[in-house]
Amino acid sequence: SSGDEGKSGKSYTVATDNNFVPFEFLNEDTGEMEGFDMDLIRAVADEAGFEVEIESMKFDGVVAGMQSGRYDIGIAGMTITEERAETIDFSEPYYDAGLTIAVQESNSDIKSEDDLAGKKVGTRSGTTSEQYLKENHPDAEVVTFPGIVEAYMDLQAGRVDAVMYDVPNVKYYVNNDAKGELKTVGETLQGEQYGIAFPKDSELVDPANEALQTLIDNGTYDDIYEEWFGE
């Protein structure tokens, strides 16, 4: 589904998630998708000489959209996994992440993943956290939500005891949206790396990797990182 050939190069569709702070989220004032992933994919496109048209959707839609070839590129804090790599191509890793646990600030019961048995643990369906919980915490009651913000809200309201999700998203939410109400506990549970996704055998993988490497070498990657994760 690659688009028109304009004078500044081809245009490609980019599928992203609609709410995964600070990687992608809607700026209500401008109506534009913003975040680390958005800056990165725009910079990659600039460097590689193509245009992008960003469409936001549910995370599962990004994964499915790569498998069906409905979109040309997917970027959504998507962890590179062996299972996904069977049906999707990935760029080189662009971000080191992992999983962690959030609880209410006042919780003294759950100090690490060792305390999850018998607890209601929220996460988002179709993610590595859901898989991790199923594999490692059969005694926890896993509650899956269609979006992670709903999980955080249920945590704040006490309807679930904990939320497991990606470290950068949990930390960002805890430090901004839920300041003083939620905290993270324990260590990073599973190291993960995010990759830009493509339909299998996409001709965009190599140019995207080259552009990514250039952005790392020339400091652009660091500038984007600093903007979203700097102190």
The footprint of ligand ARG (CB under 6 A) covers 17, 20, 59, 76-79, 127-128, 166
- Report, in Å, the least distance between residue 192 CB and ligand ARG: 6
Residues belonging to the chain: 231
Q: Which residues pair with 74 in a beta bridge?
A: 15, 197
Toward ligand ARG, which CB reaches closer, 149 or 185?
Answer: 149
User: Is 194:74 a contact under the CB 8 Å cutoff?
Assistant: no
Q: Which is nearer to ligand ARG, 167 or 204 (CB)?
A: 167
Nearer CB in complex with ligand ARG: 195/199 = 195
Shortest gap between Cβ of 220 and ligand ARG (angstroms)?
Answer: 22
Looking at beta carbons only, is 126 or 207 nearer to ligand ARG? Answer: 126
CB of 19 to ligand ARG, least distance (A): 7
Cβ proximity to ligand ARG, 127 vs 202, nearer residue: 127
Inter-CA distances, 193 with 42, 53, 62, 81, 92, Å: 20, 24, 17, 9, 9
Provide, rounded to whole angstroms, the least separation between the CB of residue 79 and ligand ARG: 4
Q: Which residues pair with 194 in a beta bridge?
A: 79, 95
Using alpha carbons, select from 62, 82, 9, 48 the residue that is nearest to residue 196: 62
* Residue number with the smallest Cβ distance to ligand ARG: 17
Residue 218: CB minimum distance to ligand ARG, A:
27
**Residues in contact with 24: Cβ distance below 8 Å, sequence separation at least 6, in sequence order:** 16, 17, 18, 33, 34, 35, 36, 37, 38, 56, 75, 76, 77
Strand 120-124 with 162-166, pairing: parallel
